[in-house]
Chains A and B, each alone.
Chain A
Amino acid sequence: QSALTQPASVSGSPGQSITISCTGTSSDVGAYNYVSWYQQHPAKAPKVVIYDVSTRPSGVSNRFSGSKSGNTASLTISGLQAEDEADYYCSSYTTSSTEVFGTGTKVTVL
């Protein structure tokens, strides 16, 4: 199972919106609405910010939103803040009953 494709880096100024893409195949992202997004700060454990494509866990800021079209999922962070600077990973359930992660995106707040 190949990793999902994400841009290596995305940057934005405070207050702006950014979008991170996550491209898979019809065997993962395109097959189910089971895409999750994780935020990982340096030397910390990942934390889920979106699951089931667009559902935000309790306690996660509503500045985070998710969507999907075909084999590509997206995470949008609106009103960018300094604390959003982190690595972000998507993941998807697959038709092989496994999970596959994306390559990861480093978000920089300028």
Chain B
Amino acid sequence: EVQVLESGGGLVQPGGSLRLACAASGFTFSADTMTWVRQAPGKGLEWVSAISGSGGTTYYADSVKGRFTISRDNSKNTLYLQMDGLRAEDTAVYYCAKGRGLVTPDYWGQGTLVIVSS
């Protein structure tokens, strides 16, 4: 059974940093694209980033490019999202999802809440 479990969310001040992690199981992690998607409170879904199975290719939404870094450790079946220069508008539930194709989310975790506030 495919499982992805996010962690690392919390309260951070504007301009601060946070690293999210996503532990995966139930599939061949190194063979699959992984993605991050976020959802601001009461709002719709926003695609954030994706990474190829090898980790060699990464993709970002314009809204986070230059501030967020996606990475993965295939030896630990874990996906990461390093978030720097956080802004109030980054407040959201962040979902990790196993990917389909290059960047499309497929199977989603339950999410972790990030709140950017002073």
Residues of A within 8 A of B (CB): 1, 3, 34, 36, 38, 40, 44-48, 51, 89, 91, 93, 97-104
Contacts and interface: CB of A to CB of B under 8 A. Distances in A.
Tell me the dominant secondary structure on chain B's binding face: strand
B47 A45 contact: no
12 contacts: A36-B105, A44-B110, A45-B109, A46-B95, A48-B106, A48-B107, A93-B101, A93-B102, A97-B59, A98-B47, A99-B104, A104-B45
Interface of B: 35, 37, 44-47, 50, 59-62, 95, 100-111
Given A1-B62, A45-B111, A89 B45 contact: yes
Contacts of A103: 44
B47 A89 contact: no
